[in-house]
Amino acid sequence: MLQTVRSTRGMAVAPHALASQAAVDVLRAGGNAIEAMIAAASTIAVVYPHMNSIGGDGFWTISCPGKPVVAIEACGAAAGSISIDSYTAKGCAKIPSRGPDSANTVAGTIGGWQAALDISKEWGGKLPLGRLLENAIFYAEDGIAVTRSQSVTTAKKLGELQSIPGFAETFLVGGKVPQAGERMRLTQLGKTLKALADDGLDSFYRGRLAASIAKELKALGSPVSAEDLAKYRATVRKPLELQHSLGKIYNMTPPTQGLVSLIILGLLDRLDIKRFGPESAEYIHCVVEATKQAFMIRDSHITDLDFMDADPQSFLAPEHLDKLTTAIRMDKALPWGQGKGPADTVWMGVIDGEGRAVSFIQSIYHEYGSGIVLSETGLNWQNRGCSFSLDPKHINALAPNKKPFHTLNPALARLNDGRVMVYGTMGGDGQPQTQAAVFTRYAVYNQTMQAAITAPRWLLGRTWGDDTDSLKLEGRFPEATRRKLEALGHEVEMVEDFDEVVGHAGGIARFSNGVLEGGSDPRSNGGVAGF
């Protein structure tokens, strides 16, 4: 059993231990939680490249004691030149998931770093950008040790990725899938990170780096142009807020599914789940049925905030949550249709010694995104835009300058007893479910953070390369739990113990006395670092 890590001066958690350590290095150097998170975000983009990239999107939820919680929406919109017709004219029934046609949205994550640094300066943050990117640059130039997760993912997806421009040259070693423990250098990416340190983050969109990116994207056939890059800015938003019996819980606004995560917790609060055991069929049934209710709202309403037909905060009104709760039957599972599928992502958290907290998520959508790697910059570009529909009547129909739907959502809670909690996970459909598991086990059942994360989990929906939408249970659940869930009408499928299909979760909480406690997921290559 892994033990919960505790410290007092600062703490970071990430699905790769080197990212956590990079964050704590910055905290030790006098940096704040935002500065530490940029160190972690840049590092993990290098050492965990199959799960994220600086050619992807990101979202932030940020808490500073005595101030309102804020959020940063760092997701890029679709290119201004594309339309549904531009794809149907090519004979596409849907947007391709790989290659240039899938690389159709601006990468927003670097813009998010800049917006976060602007907030950091208001806190008195002074560390130079070069110091924040120092570890990432070193690992890119000196080489990374390939993880088992990266090796397995590369082998699994090689058939659909090896012919994509730049992929084989970047992510294969000697033309072969790298094995766990092999050394891999990402030299061009290191040069790009150095250029960002020298020229500033804005150069990604409006500088010499932007010119190189735009030129190469155009040459490869991506619709993202220099104009699309130049007009991009990350957006600071007021996050969604759930009033829970244990405190206030915050998450990201659409186009993310932050609303889904909050609805689930609001419903579980009303179902009085504490009367059930944390590994019981009744508990899992409650979470799964709450998830179904939240997913129906997601699939009917959540899209680019500028295109929504309702105020997302209105779905968290007590009277609306009360109504949804009455639709949940404790004796029978609601029939389930089809989820949104997987997404490859990293969630990370940092809390500094002043109690400033960051919940952060960074993604390229599918593993390795579009597969495209720009040769001059080493950027692996995301394929988030393949989530758009080519059906003009669909809630997430493709349109120029429209933001795609995101499964990403970074969670943060301010509890009534004074604790501040950051938590999250990767995993597409699984993100709000795993968030519910971590929050309820920690805050409702009073498990330690590590125990709440280590405990067996489940996933309603699809996983990598899987077309089934069954309820997947890790093998550590009691047989009686499986049988009872089946009796309630759930289509149950068992997966391996500690299977990463149920996500790479993490969490940190800070108590009112300044003590920090954190946990990382044994299903990942993660770690908690504190001092």
Determine whether 372 is exposed, middle or buried from the number of CB atoms within 10 Å of its CB (0-12, 13-18, 19+).
buried
Report d(CA 478, CA 278) in Å as an integer. 12
In eight-state DSSP terms, residue 314 is: G
The residue annotated as part of the active site, out of 105, 154, 345, 434, is 345
**Residue 445: which region, alpha, beta or left (left: phi > 0; alpha: psi -120 to 50)?**
alpha
Bridge partners of residue 183, in order along the sequence: 145
Report d(CA 492, CA 480) in Å as an integer. 12
Contact, 506 vs 14, CB < 8 A?
yes
Residues 484, 423, 380, 202, Cα dihedral to 10°: 150
Which pair of structure tokens corresponds to residue 415? 């509890």
Contact, 201 vs 114, CB < 8 A?
yes
Q: Which of 337, 386, 365 is nearest to 428 (CA)?
A: 365
Strand boundaries in 396-499, DSSP class E: 411-415, 420-424, 458-460, 471-474, 492-495
Distances (CA, A) of 313 to 203, 230, 239, 250, 378: 35, 31, 9, 11, 39
Q: Which of 418, 458, 419 is nearest to 438 (CA)?
A: 458
Which residues, other chains included, contact 443 with Cβ-Cβ below 8 Å and sequence gap of 6+?
A: 246, 413, 415, 421
Which pair of structure tokens corresponds to residue 37? 């998170």
Q: Is 153 a catalytic residue?
A: no
End-to-end CA distance of the chain: 22
Q: Which of 155, 145, 131, 173 is nearest to 48 (CA)?
A: 145
Report d(CA 435, CA 158) in Å as an integer. 31
Which pair of structure tokens corresponds to residue 266? 């609001």
Which pair of structure tokens corresponds to residue 371? 């597969």
- Provide φ and ψ at 277, rounded to 5°: -75, 150
Report d(CA 240, CA 8) in Å as an integer. 29
Which pair of structure tokens corresponds to residue 18? 């080197």
- Provide φ and ψ at 31, rounded to 5°: -75, 160
Instruction: State the SS3 of 387-401.
Output: HCECCCCCCCECCCC
Which residues, other chains included, contact 485 with Cβ-Cβ below 8 Å and sequence gap of 6+?
A: 281, 284, 285, 333, 471, 473, 492
Bridge partners of residue 145, in order along the sequence: 183
Q: How far is CA 209 from the centre of its chain?
A: 26
**Residues with a known catalytic role:** 345
